[in-house]
Chain A
C-alpha cells in the first residue's frame, strides 16, 4: 500500500497538536491563584474518583451512565491501542482484535449518544455538541476499518486492490475528523475538552474531602489581610482571582444542563442559569465572547453580548451582578453536577468582591449588613432584646450555670414572632424530655450565615470569632439549634478560625436531636391524626449536611406516612429563602416559594412539615388556600403526651 506512512504521521500530528493544546490550556488555568493541593496523590486517586464518585452521580441516569461507560471506556482503550497498533506499528493480531473490540464498544456507545441527540432535552447544549456523536462514530468507524487488515480479517492488499484510493481517502477523512475532535479538540476547546479537564479536575479538586462519599459544604474563608496588601483584592474580581483549580473545574463542564434543570432561580425566571454561568467563566478564563454558547440563556438575557478575559473584571461585561444575586445557594446544581463543579463557591467568591470591594450589595442587602454589623442581628433590633421571646420560659442561662449537657443555640429566630413559636415548641419538648440544657441569652450573636452568603466575609469572620470566644467560656457536649443555617455555620464553617471552643462538641439540628430523644423513649407521642403530611427538606439541613432521615423518622414516630413531593431528599427544591435571596430580591417571573408550594399541592397534603424557620417564613408567605406549614417541633408538641399537663398540651393546639 502506498499510503502506509500516512496514518502514523496523522496520528502523531494529532497527538502532538493535542499536547501543544494541553500545555496552552494548563497555562490558562495556572493563571489562577495558588492552592494547596497534593498533585501526585490527586493524580493517583483520579481513576478511582472517576469510577466511583463521578460515576455514582452519572448513574442516577442509567441510560447516560451506560452510554458514557461504553463510549468513554471504549475511547480510552481504543486510543491506547491505536498508539500501539497504528502509531508504533506493533504487529500483533491479539492487540488488533482488542482494538476492534474496544472500537466496537465505543461505536455502540456513540450510537446511543447519537440517539439521545436526535430529540435533545432543552437543558443540554446544542452547537458543537450536536456534532460530537457523529465525530465519535467517524473515529470508531474509521479506525475499525483501518484495523481490519492488522487483525488479519482483510489481507493487506485488499485496500489497494478493490476501491483503492477512494477508500483510503474516505478512511483518511474519517480518522482526521475523528482525531480532530477527539485528540485535537480535547485540548483546544472542543466538546471533548471535558475529558481532559474533567480528569484533571477530579485529581486537583478544591474540595478533596468530597471524594469517597465525603461531604464538604462549608465556604472557604477569605484572607482579609489581602485588603491592605498592595494589589490585593477581596473576593474574585477577575477570572485570575479564582484559585487555579477552580478555573480548571469550570473547564470540566460537559454542558449537560443538569444544574439548569434543578436551579430554582432559573425556574423562577430570574437571570441565573448555572450552566451558562460556568460557561461564562470559561469565556473569562480563555478570553472572548459567549457568541458560540448554544444552550439556554440567563432568563430574560440575550446570548452573545458577554465579553471577558482573564484580566478583565467579570461583572463589567461578562456577567450581570443580578445573575450572582439570584442564587439562593441551595446547592442543587452542585449536588446534581456529574463533574462535581462548585457553582456556589464561585458565585459567593464573586459576591465577595461586589460586597467587600464595590459596596454594591443590591436592595436591602446593604441595610441588612449594616444592621448585622451594628446590632449582631439582621433587622437592627436592640441586642439586649434577644431574649425577650423567652421572658416567660425561665430558661437557664449559660452565664449563670456555666455548664450544661446541651447548649440550645436560639438563632435570630428569637426576634421573629413566627419563629418564636418554633422556639417555644422546642423548649417545651426539651423540658418534657428533661434535657439538661442552657442558652447563651444576649451573649449569642447572629451566626453570620446571611453576611457570609451576601459576600461579607469580614463580618462573618468577626461574628464567628466573637461567638467562638463566648462558646469557649462554657462547658457543654452538644449544641442543638432549630435553624439549619446556624447549624451549618457552627458545624462546618466555624472550624477555620483556630478556636477549640467546638472541639469534641457535637452540633445537631433539632430534628436529629429530637429523633434521638424519641428513639430513647424520652418523649411520649400520640399518633397524629390530621390528614396527609408532606415534608420539605431544607437545603442547609439536607444537601449541606446530609440529614434526610431524622425528620422523616420523627414524623413516622407519630404515625405519619410522609407523602413525598416529586423533588425531595437530595433533589429537594429550595424554598427561595437561602443565600440572602429574600434580601437581594432579584425580580423574576415567578416566586420560588410559589413553585415549591405547587410541588406540595401535587401531593394533596394538608400539612407541610418543615425543619427550618426560613423555609417556614417563605412557605407561609404563599397566598392561601394552601396547606398549613408547621415546624416538626410544633407538630411534635401537639402530639406530646405529658403526664403532668396532658390537658394543657391539648388546649394549646
Chain B
C-alpha cells in the first residue's frame, strides 16, 4: 500500500443534502435518500471523521437541515444563495475547490424540482463519472472504488469507478441512523454566501401537489404458486422490446414515440 494514496482512510467525501418532505404530512424532514447518503458517508469516514463534509445549497436557517446534523455531524456547510438561484454552478465550484474524491447525493430530491438531474449536471460540469442508484461502496484501493449498484428486485451490479466520481444513493443503501435532538441542536452551520444565476426556467413554473401517476394495470398471468414466486423474485425478462443501438437517433426517437402512443400515454 502506498502511503497517502487514495485509500478509504484519507478520502475526501462530500455528501450533498436537500430538504426532504414527508410523503404523508408534507412536513420538512431529512430526505430519505440523502440521509442514506449521509449514512454511507459516515460509514466510509468512520476512521477519519474530518473526511466527510455535508454540503447544502440553500437557506442555512432551514430546520430540516438539523435532522441531518442529529446523525452526529459536527457541522453542515451551507452555500447560502437566493431561493430562486440555480445551485448547480456554485455546488460545482465548491466541489472542485474542496478536492472531493467521492460525492454522494440522493437519486432525486423530495421537494423543489425533484428532477434527479442535479447529480448528472454536476458530473457534466466537473467531467467526472457518475454512478446512479448506488447501494454500497465496498472498497477504495489505489484510486479505484468498488461500488455496488442497486438493480430491481434486490439484485446488485458490481462496478469499478476511478476517483473522483459522483454516486447517487438508492433506497437500497443502508438506512440512516437515528437523528438525535442534542447533536442536531449543537451542530454548526458553516455558511458561505454565494452568488448564482437565477433559474429563470423554473421561475415560469407553477408548483402544484403531485398527482399519483397512473399505474399500469397488473395482469396476473401466473397460474401456479411457482410462477407467482418467480414473477415476484426473478429478474423481469423483457419481452417484445427491441434493443436499438446502431440506429439513427431519429429512428430511435420515433420508436419511443410509437411506443408511447401504443401505450396510450400520448394521444
* B184 to A: closest C-beta gap in Å: 8
The verdict on A375 contacting chain B, using a C-beta distance below 8 Å, is yes
How far is it, in angstroms, between the C-alpha of A50 and the C-alpha of B111 when the chains are bound? 62
Residues of B within 8 A of A (CB-CB), count: 17
Q: Which residues of B contact A359 (CB under 8 A)?
A: 70-72, 177-180, 183
Bitwise interface map of B from 165 to 190 toward A, beta carbon under 8 Å scored 1, else 0:
00000000000011111110110000
Whether A227 contacts B181 by the Cβ 8 Å rule is yes
Q: Which residues of A contact B181 (CB under 8 A)?
A: 224, 227, 234, 355-356, 456, 458-459
How far is it, in angstroms, between the C-alpha of A357 and the C-alpha of B27 when the chains are bound? 23
The verdict on B22 contacting chain A, using a C-beta distance below 8 Å, is yes
How far is it, in angstroms, between the C-alpha of A373 and the C-alpha of B25 when the chains are bound? 10
For B25, give its contact among A227, A233, A374 (CB under 8 Å): A374
How far is it, in angstroms, between the C-alpha of A107 and the C-alpha of B186 when the chains are bound? 60
The closest CB in chain B to the CB of A227 belongs to: B185
The closest CB in chain A to the CB of B21 belongs to: A374
Q: Which residues of A contact B186 (CB under 8 A)?
A: 227-228
Bitwise interface map of A from 363 to 375 toward B, beta carbon under 8 Å scored 1, else 0:
0011001100111
Whether A382 contacts B178 by the Cβ 8 Å rule is no
The verdict on B29 contacting chain A, using a C-beta distance below 8 Å, is yes
The closest CB in chain A to the CB of B29 belongs to: A374
Q: Which residues of B contact A355 (CB under 8 A)?
A: 178, 180-181
* B120 to A: closest C-beta gap in Å: 29
* Band of interface residues on A: 20 to 34
Whether B24 contacts A374 by the Cβ 8 Å rule is yes
Q: Which residues of A contact B24 (CB under 8 A)?
A: 374-375, 380-383
* B65 to A: closest C-beta gap in Å: 15
Bitwise interface map of A from 282 to 326 toward B, beta carbon under 8 Å scored 1, else 0:
000000000000000000000000000000000000000000000
The residue among A357, A361, A365, A374 with the most chain B CB atoms within 10 A of its own CB is A374
How far is it, in angstroms, between the C-alpha of A294 and the C-alpha of B27 when the chains are bound? 52
Whether B180 contacts A356 by the Cβ 8 Å rule is yes
How far is it, in angstroms, between the C-alpha of A360 and the C-alpha of B72 when the chains are bound? 11
* B2 to A: closest C-beta gap in Å: 37
The verdict on A220 contacting chain B, using a C-beta distance below 8 Å, is no
List B57-110 residues whose CB lies under 8 Å from chain A.
70-72
* B181 to A: closest C-beta gap in Å: 4
Whether A369 contacts B25 by the Cβ 8 Å rule is no
Q: Residues of A at under 8 Å CB distance from B?
A: 224, 227-228, 233-234, 355-361, 365-366, 369-370, 373-376, 380-383, 456, 458-459
Q: Residues of B at under 8 Å CB distance from A?
A: 22, 24-25, 27, 29, 70-72, 177-183, 185-186
Q: A228-B185, A358-B180 are in contact. List 11 more A-B contacts (CB 8 A).
A: A224-B185, A227-B181, A227-B185, A227-B186, A228-B186, A355-B178, A355-B180, A359-B179, A383-B25, A458-B181, A459-B181
Q: Which 8 A-B pairs have the closest CB atoms?
A: A359-B180, A359-B178, A366-B178, A227-B185, A458-B181, A382-B24, A374-B22, A357-B182
